[in-house]
Amino acid sequence: MSYEQQLDATFAALADPTRRAILARLASGEASVHELAEPFSMSQPAISKHLKVLERAGLIRRGRDAQRRPARIEAKPLREANMWIERYRELWEANYARLDNLLEELKAKED
C-alpha cells in the first residue's frame, strides 16, 4: 500500500466506534476473538469481521496459533494517523488556551 492508501485505510478503520474500542483493548495486550467477544457483548463472527477490517488496514496482526489466533496491535499506521490528529489538536489547544484567558477576563468584568 502507498502512504496515502495506508492513511485512507487507517482512517476508514478508525471511523467505527467498536473498532476504536477493540484497538484500545488490544493496546493493553493481545486477545483472541473469544476474549474480545465477551466485554463487547458481540458475537464472535461480528468481532471477526471488525478484526478483518483492522487487519486489512494494517492496524493489527493475527497470531499463527491456529486455535486462538490472538490479535495484536500494530503501532506504525496508528502513529501516522495520530500524527495528523495530534498536530491538529495542538492548533486547537493553542487557541483554547487563549480563550480560557479571555473568559477569565470577561468573568472578572461581570462580577
Partner 1 sequence: MPKPVDVSTPSDREIRVARLFDAPAKLVWDCHTKPELIRRWMLGPPGWSMPVCEVDLRVGGAYRYRWRSDADGTEFGSSGIHTEIAPFERIVTTERMEGFDGEAVNTLVFEEADGRTTATITMLFASKEARDGALQSGMSDGMAMGYDRMDDILAELAAA
Binding site for partner 1 (CB under 8 A): 7-8, 11-12, 14-15, 17, 20-21, 23-25, 27, 75, 78-79, 82-103, 106-107, 110
3-class DSSP assignment, residue 62: strand
**Buried/exposed 6-20: b ≥16 CB within 10 Å, e otherwise:** bbebbeebbeeeebe
Which CB, 38 or 65, lies closer to partner 1? 38
User: Contact at 8 Å (CB) between 75 and 1?
Assistant: no
Rounded to the nearest whole angstrom, what is the least distance from the CB of residue 101 to partner 1 in the complex? 8
Rounded to the nearest whole angstrom, what is the least distance from the CB of residue 30 to partner 1 in the complex? 14
